[in-house]
Chains A and B, each alone.
Chain A
Amino acid sequence: MLITRVLVLTIALIAATATAHAQISDGIVKIGVMNDQSGTYADITGPGSTTAARLAVEDFGAAKKGLKVEIVVADHLNKPDVGSSIARQWYDAEKVDVIVDVPTSSVALAINQITRDKGKAFLVSGAATSDLTGKACSPNTIHWTYDTWALANGTGSAIVKTGGDTWFFLTADYAFGHALERDTEAVVVKNGGKVLGKVRHPFPTADFSSFLLQAQASKAKIIGLANAGADTTNAIKQGAEFGIVKGGQQFAGLLVFISDVHALSLEKANGLVLTEAFYWDLNDKTRAWSKRFAEKQHGAMPTMVQAGVYSAVLHYLKAVEALKSDDGTKVIAKMKEMPTDDPLFGKGVVRADGRKIHPMYLFEVKKPAEAKGPWDYYKVRATIPTEQAFRPLDQGECPLVKK
């Protein structure tokens, strides 16, 4: 059975140095980009992640270094059974060496296990669950970009410190939503805030009017949205209708991406506070790269997940080059050894538990009048330094971390 390769990036053999091929499995480094190509998360990850991976291979200069790199793509439909089928097929039959991206925590956890069983490599950019560097940590996985702890910590503590000390949670009723709510509640309480109430809505929900009424009745200053994708955007859109923001309350998006803001438009989303690891307009380097990205993606700016894919693939290739091997476990170990450096996240490090660390940013969505151009959506409210952005190494219960 074949899965037809949609994207193949092959490098000419001419300048190849034979030694570089010696320990690379069948001479090719095969990167599998697996994510949601057509569903709720397609704009957050999707084809954009493939573009980001391609840019990374390009910037790495695989051709000049004589490394043959190929990229294959698959859509996991946000289902763990589909994702694990594809992963098995890729590892067993297609000789894929590393899987990248994978949004949707349930899928990422499944692939985390399979990658470990087969000794390959897994670079997660899309999924959120902090368990990937906690209970489920693995010597074959690195969790890039962000996780629930970082989001909860960033958004939660920053908001409480700036006066948003009473909260009401609107939580999606599934494991991810509960985890996000739990992590954020812990942070809010730790910083002296109070949680006035919470309501769990079925996942997914189209109509939030009833839950928004309850949020309004609580009179909490902050309405924390412990959900993602369409649930978040629907809640915000309907919140505008019910005059939530006009009534003096503020939404805190616990998992919001720039593509969501784009879909909502500034009229609806202005005032929203969120935490992300990357924004295209942060500095010259991010701007330059994002422009290249946008050219290939019909003008859409990269989300932090897509930027993370670029960063992860780049670092992976550097490690492969240094090791002259694409053996999963060894490459991951090498990636933890080597410090990271790329134009998008700057200098960083991969920790023993597989957590890549870098600064996180607290953003606020601009009002329509403040935006000076397309995609000019965020203003920086705070920068959370690397040391504080992620869960401390010793709190994760990761068996790989020596106490």
Chain B
Amino acid sequence: MTATVKDYVVAPPVFVAAAWPRHQMLAFAVMVGLLVIAPFVAYPVFLMKALCFALFACAFNLLIGYVGLLSFGHAAFLGTAGYVSAHSAKVWGLPPELAILAGTATAAGLGLVIGALTIRSRGIYFANITLAFAQMVFFFSVQAKFTGGEDGIQAVPQGRLLGVLDLQQTYTLYFVVLAIFLIGFLVVYRAIHSPFGQVLKAVRENEPRAISLGYRAEHYKLMAFVLSATLSGLAGGTKALVFQLASLTDVHWTMSGEVVLMTLLGGLGTVFGPAVGAFIVIGLEHWLAQLGSWLTIVQGAIFVVCVLTFRRGVVGELSRLLRKPL
């Protein structure tokens, strides 16, 4: 009887009505505090990139950490939303908030379609079929005229958020991105710590039992999938506006691999893990950019080490030390 992913995932906290566990509130406050000070200390554009990926990883974690499904095709949502946001801002002239919403909505729709087709599979088959669909999205992105092929959509205008905030100012943009990240983060948190999250947990622990209790397991899984896709889309749309670029990199299957790396490193099924993992991986990319292929080697080594000895990830191990779920 093989153990499953869920056995190595830190158990989510017990649902407490309308109250956050104190240590998590503290951790959240620390995180927000750090992120507010950060742009004055570090290079803001790097931080914004990390924030977008942190959101992406949180969204991905929803699926793997709490539903137990490893999707190897999440890049499809990130990239497609990026393209749609970029196109709507540049060609249709939509203001940034509508452009990002357009991207997010597209990702949600795509998530619904792909989710409906794939949710019945599980384990390695689920990974494979999500990969297959992501490859089809990639192919579509290469062929479609509006995506610009390998040039991507460039010079995406940033405009004024809600007509007021000038996104071309670096700090304004940063705090907007931070706000978006925190919203996404809280949505994930709320989804987990809610009756919906409880059902997901039940489905993950023992699906037949959950079904016998009257829960339509597949519907819950699909909802989680769509939510994960939507938030990935939010990350993708925001990223396109920050970097003023939507490119094929964001729909390539290696991007799907990267988000797995971030989440694994940070801690599958933890609340803060994916964000931490994202910051570490993006930081590494930044640091090792000079060294070319060493980056690939280091990423591979992280995968290996994490899987062999560090399965709980950074936050997971920290959580174990503190004996409190993070």
Write the residues of chain A forming the contact surface with B, with a CB cutoff of 8 angstroms.
1, 3-4, 6, 37-38, 73-75, 79-82, 84-86, 88-89, 92-93, 105-106, 109-110, 113, 173-176, 202-203
Give Cα A252 to B149, complex, Å: 25
Task: Tell me the complex Cα distance, A95–B44, Å.
Answer: 16
Please state if A85 and B243 are interface contacts (CB–CB under 8 Å): yes
Q: Which residues from A are CB-within-8-Å of B46?
A: 1, 85, 89
A130 to chain B, nearest CB (A): 14
Specify the chain B residue showing the minimal Cβ separation from A108. Answer: B151
On chain A, the residues within 8 Å of B289 by CB distance are 3, 74-75, 82, 86
Contact, CB under 8 Å: B245 / A175: no
- Tell me, yes or no, whether B290 is within 8 Å of chain A by CB: yes
B290 touches A75 (CB 8 A): yes
B247 with A106: CB separation less than 8 A = yes
Complex-state Cα separation, A84 to B290, whole angstroms: 15
Query: Would you list 25 pairs from A and B whose C-beta atoms are within 8 A, ordered by A residue?
Result: A4-B287, A37-B292, A73-B290, A79-B249, A80-B151, A80-B247, A80-B249, A81-B243, A81-B245, A81-B247, A82-B289, A84-B243, A84-B245, A86-B289, A92-B43, A105-B151, A106-B151, A106-B152, A110-B154, A113-B155, A174-B142, A174-B150, A175-B151, A203-B142, A203-B150
Q: Which residues of B contact A113 (CB under 8 A)?
A: 154-155, 244
Q: How far is the CB of B148 from chain A (nearest CB, A)?
A: 7
Minimal beta-carbon separation of B274 from chain A (angstroms): 21
The docked-state distance in angstroms from the alpha carbon of A6 to that of B294 is: 15
Contact B43 A93 (CB under 8 A): yes
B223 CB within 8 Å of chain A: no
Query: A-B pairs with the 3 shortest C-beta distances?
Result: A38-B292, A175-B149, A106-B151
Instruction: Check A109/B151 contact, CB under 8 A, given A85-B243, A173-B142.
Output: yes
Q: For B152, list chain A residues within 8 Å (CB).
A: 80-81, 106, 110
Total number of B residues with any Cβ neighbor in A under 8 Å? 27
Report the separation of the CA atoms of residues A388 and B143 in the bound assembly, to the nearest whole angstrom. Answer: 34
A93 to B292 alpha-carbon distance, docked (Å): 21
The answer to whether B312 has its CB under 8 Å from any CB of chain A is: no
**Most chain B CB atoms below 10 A, which of A86, A175, A176:** A175
Q: Which chain B residues border A79 with CB–CB below 8 Å?
A: 247, 249
C-alpha gap A270/B247 in the complex (Å): 37
Asked if A1 and B286 make an inter-chain contact with CB atoms under 8 angstroms apart, the answer reads yes
Is the pair A89, B45 in contact by a Cβ cutoff of 8 Å?
yes
From A74, A105, A174, name the one whose CB has the most chain B CB atoms within 10 angstroms.
Answer: A174
Question: Within the assembled complex, what's the spacing in Å between the Cα atoms of A89 and B45?
Answer: 8
Residue B293 at the A interface, CB < 8 A? yes
Which of A3, A79, A80, A85 has the most C-beta atoms of chain B within 10 angstroms of its own C-beta? A80
Contacts of A38 in B (CB 8 A): 292-293
> Is B49's CB within 8 Å of the partner chain A?
yes
Which residues of chain A have C-beta atoms less than 8 A from B322's C-beta?
Answer: none
A210 to B286 alpha-carbon distance, docked (Å): 41
Known: A75-B290, A89-B45. A174 touches B243 (CB 8 A): no
Taking CB atoms, residues of chain A closer than 8 Å to B290 are 3-4, 6, 73-75
* Cα separation A1 to B263 with both chains bound (whole Å): 23
Which partner residue on chain A sits nearest B153 by CB separation? A80
* Shortest distance between the CB of B144 and any CB in chain A (Å): 12
* Given A82-B249, A113-B155, 8 new contacts (CB under 8 A): A74-B290, A80-B152, A80-B249, A81-B247, A85-B49, A92-B45, A109-B154, A175-B148
Complex: chain A residue closest to B139, CB-CB: A202
Decide: A75 and B292 in contact? CB cutoff 8 A: yes
Q: Within the assembled complex, what's the spacing in Å between the Cα atoms of A97 and B46? A: 20
Interface mask (B39-58 → A, CB under 8 Å = 1, otherwise 0) = 00011011001000000000
List of A residues within 8 angstroms of B43 by Cβ: 1, 89, 92-93
Smallest Cβ-Cβ distance to A116: which chain B residue: B155
Neighbouring B residues of A74 by C-beta, 8 Å: 289-290
Complex-state Cα separation, A132 to B261, whole angstroms:
37
CB of A364 to closest CB in B, whole Å? 30
Among residues of B, the one whose C-beta sits closest to the C-beta of A73 is B290
> With A and B bound together, what is the CA distance between A74 and B42 in angstroms?
20
Residues on B with C-beta less than 8 A from A73 are 290
Distance in angstroms between the alpha carbons of A203 and B252 in the assembled complex: 13
A202 to B135, CA, bound (A): 13
